[in-house]
Chain A
Amino acid sequence: MSGAVPPAGTPPPPPPPPPRFADAAREALADPSVRRGLREATSAARAGAAGAVADSADWEELRAAGAAVRDRTLLDLDRYLEELEGAVVEAGGTVHWAVSAADAVRVVAGLVRAQGESGAAVADAPVLREIGLAGGLAAAGIAVLDAGAAAAVAVTGVDFMVAETGALVRSGGDAAPAPSAALVAVAGLEQAVPAWRDLEVFLQLLPRASGAGRTAARTVVWSGPVAGDGPAACHLVLVDNGRTRALADPVGRTALRCIGCEACLNVCPVYERTGPAAYGPGGAGPIGAVRVPLQRGVRGAHAASLPFASTLCGACADVCPVKIDLPGLLVHLRGEVVEARRDRPVPAPELAAMRAAAWTLAEPRRYEAALRRGARWGRLLARGGRIGRLPGRLGKWSDARDLPAPPAQSFRAWWGRR
């Protein structure tokens, strides 16, 4: 018995890696409540966003302006973050840097304990979900209370940080957290904007894209502790969690333009059917499928499966308020996954098949011979003009879909005889 109990002070074993998207999605699809709940939520947000966008005659200019501010900021991010830290400290706040998601959770848990508290009010925000804050705090023995609960410590995500003044801005969301002792704001490094005037664009883009309306019902700005009003302490936890890795990828870095509106999730046909859980921890929908592998690397099976969790239909890119080319980034990351696998001693069956296909297609004569072979095989498999069952991995196709029997004559054979 004693052998099964780890000695006190030993960290718990790491959780098993999350499943690959296709496997998690299969489970989610089997649960009808996932789809029902999501369809209503996503279609309401989608309709809200479409309405607000239709009412904005200058939507395309706003998007272009938002993308440009983001790109400019990301190029000089270290400078803006330094400026931001100085401004926050100047205003009486404290800045904490967290390298990983686990670091961020540890920092927040430490701040709660430092107030002598065993619970905190926790709001919902993309960055808090990304680092798994609620679960992490609970595992550390800290009670996670509702965002609106009266508590000494409140943890919230912020949407924007103004480098020039140190102001932290939250647009929309539920009731503003009103802790009596300490506010803990968590943000990703990329959420900095250079100056107050840059917010004008984002405070229009964010509510409209998220389906909240033309402007947010509530925008909260924190500018450090104020004597006699509000919490005595203001903490800002800046989360890297792979963002510097993403910044180092010249193609991938555009994903950090993201303002967390979730418009891309709400229009994604895959997300609508599988729900957030299928994507695993770290982020869901098209932007999650981009950011998780970009920030963590593509060696792990879970992260490597995410870029393939999309039909590349392009609906996300059409709605993204900062014009992130999400399908393009998914393809870029698929390329990273394949490149990372090329150096395996034994090539994966897919790599071998793709190489063989490319070799065949590279030479018209080989291609013609393959067409003739394919037609012969197809005729062997066909029944009544349809193929109902394909061999090997292609059986995944024929489990639910017929394939027309291949024709007696390819197009080029017909052309040659004409």
Chain B
Amino acid sequence: MEAVRVALFVACYNDALFPGTGRAVVRLLERLGHRVDFPAAQTCCGQMHWTTGYRREAAALARAFTGVFDGAGAVVTPSASCAATVRASYAGIARAAGDPALAEAAGRLAVYELTEFLVDVLGVTDVGARFPHRVAYQPTCHALRGLGVGDRPLRLLASVRDLELVDLPAAEECCGFGGTFAVKNADVSVALAADKVRHVRATSADVLCALDNSCLAHIGGALSRLHAGVRVAHLAEILAGPEEG
């Protein structure tokens, strides 16, 4: 297939806290023969402000986002929740702000979550990866219900050599992160995490993967506090393989 030019939206929390995920996306797409750009003016899609009720701030960030990625072609992000925000919430943000130009600008964008881009646009499920571990997959709410990524992540994982995919019980139940919910309703959030951790520990997985580092930080933070011996990893890091040097 011909080389595709991809604009990477890394997502602000990945940029700051999980840069390894961004590096993995770059490594993976370049290994597959494509070209990755990183528009340096990007910051945040506005998701946290929007879902916490800060409409004006979210609108300002959404305008900046559409400005940065206007005309960029395929925009790829390793954050299902950010992809869902741009695709599903920007229209609402524009409506609340009384800004039809923002809705139009959002309509012109082509934002893909990484697994959607791999499977639907590039048409690959075997990315040539090897990962000799037992892995469970957590379908995060934004990936599952927000974007409807379906079995794309599982198909990609099934093609990874030496990877043993294990079933996660009650996988489709929310882990309890929910953005600012994790702090505003910390008790309920932790109660949900406790159940998720119980289900993860009932598997024999060494690694729990997902398409959102935010949810993984929440589940992983509880696993770490319990010294559960299961680590979390973004799916991109499994598909990209280890970093050199």
Contact = CB atoms under 8 A, between A and B. Distances in A.
Contacts of B61: 358, 361-362
B43 A367 contact: yes
Contacts of A336: 53
Contacts of A375: 16
A354 B218 contact: no
Interface stretch (B101-109, B155-163, B176-184, B203-211): B176-184
B54 A338 contact: yes
B52 A354 contact: yes
B135 interface: no
A397 B49 contact: no
A296 interface: no
A300 to B, nearest CB: 16
B51 interface: yes
A311 B174 contact: yes
Nearest to A317: B145
A113 interface: no
Interface string A400-418: 1111101101111111100
B185 A22 contact: yes
Q: Is the interface of A mostly helix, strand, loop or mixed?
A: helix
Contact of B17 (A355, A393, A406): A406
Interface string B9-46: 01010111111101100100000000000101111100
B50 interface: yes
A394 interface: yes
Contacts of A338: 52-55
Interface residues of B, number: 64
Interface in B126-164: 141, 145-146
A362 B38 contact: no
A313 B178 contact: yes
B16 A334 contact: no
Contact of A337 (B53, B89, B145): B53
B217 interface: yes
Contacts of A311: 141, 174, 176-178, 181, 189, 192
B145 A315 contact: yes
Interface stretch (A92-100, A114-122, A206-214, A266-274): A266-274
A331 B53 contact: yes
B221 A403 contact: yes
A334 B52 contact: yes
B59 to A, nearest CB: 10
Nearest to B21: A411
Contact of B54 (A29, A358, A393): A358
Nearest to A271: B188
Contacts of B4: none
A25 interface: yes
A401 B174 contact: no
A374 B13 CA distance: 11
A401 B178 contact: no
A22 B184 contact: yes
Contact of A274 (B184, B188, B193): B188
Nearest to A333: B53
A411 B44 contact: no
B3 interface: no
B171 interface: no
Interface string A269-295: 110011000000000000000000000
B230 interface: no
A96 to B, nearest CB: 38
Interface of A: 21-22, 25-26, 29, 269-270, 273-274, 307-315, 317-318, 328, 331-339, 354-355, 357-358, 361-364, 367, 371, 374-375, 386, 388, 393-394, 396-397, 399-404, 406-407, 409-416
13 contacts: A29-B187, A308-B184, A311-B141, A313-B145, A328-B92, A338-B54, A361-B43, A363-B43, A397-B186, A400-B186, A402-B224, A411-B15, A411-B23
- Which 3 A-B pairs give the minimum distances between C-beta atoms? A311-B178, A401-B221, A334-B53
Given A22-B188, A388-B225, A404-B221, 7 more contacts: A331-B50, A332-B96, A367-B12, A397-B182, A402-B221, A406-B17, A413-B19
Interface of B: 10, 12, 14-20, 22-23, 26, 38, 40-44, 48-55, 57, 60-61, 64, 89, 92, 96, 141, 145-146, 172-174, 176-193, 217-218, 220-222, 224-225
